[in-house]
A and B are shown apart, each in its own frame.
Chain A
Amino acid sequence: QKEVEQDPGPLSVPEGAIVSLNCTYSNSAFQYFMWYRQYSRKGPELLMYTYSSGNKEDGRFTAQVDKSSKYISLFIRDSQPSDSATYLCAMSYTGTASKLTFGTGTRLQVTL
Chain B
Amino acid sequence: DAGITQSPRHKVTETGTPVTLRCHQTENHRYMYWYRQDPGHGLRLIHYSYGVKDTDKGEVSDGYSVSRSKTEDFLLTLESATSSQTSVYFCAIRAVRASTDTQYFGPGTRLTVL
Size class of the contact patch on chain A: 20 to 34
B78 within 8 A of A: no
Residues of B93-109 at the interface with A, using a CB-CB cut-off of 8 Å, are 94, 100-108
Check if A44 sits within 8 Å of B41, measured CB to CB: no
Interface of B is mostly: strand
Count residues of B near A (Cβ-Cβ below 8 Å). Answer: 25
Task: Pick from A100, A103, A105: contact of B103, CB below 8 A.
Answer: A100
- Chain A residues contacting B105 (CB-CB under 8 Å) are 36, 43-45
Chain A: CB-nearest residue to B50: A97
Task: Pick from B33, B42, B100, B108: contact of A46, CB below 8 A.
Answer: B100
Question: In whole angstroms, how far apart are the Cα atoms of A39 and B20 in the complex?
Answer: 25
Residues of A78-112 at the interface with B, using a CB-CB cut-off of 8 Å, are 88, 90, 92, 97-100, 102-105
A32 within 8 A of B: yes
The interface centre, meaning the residue of B33, B44, B50, B105 with most chain A CB atoms within 10 A of its CB, is B105
A34 within 8 A of B: yes
Check if A43 sits within 8 Å of B43, measured CB to CB: no
Give the A-binding residues of B (Cβ under 8 A): 2, 31, 33, 40-45, 48, 50, 56, 58, 90, 94, 100-108, 110
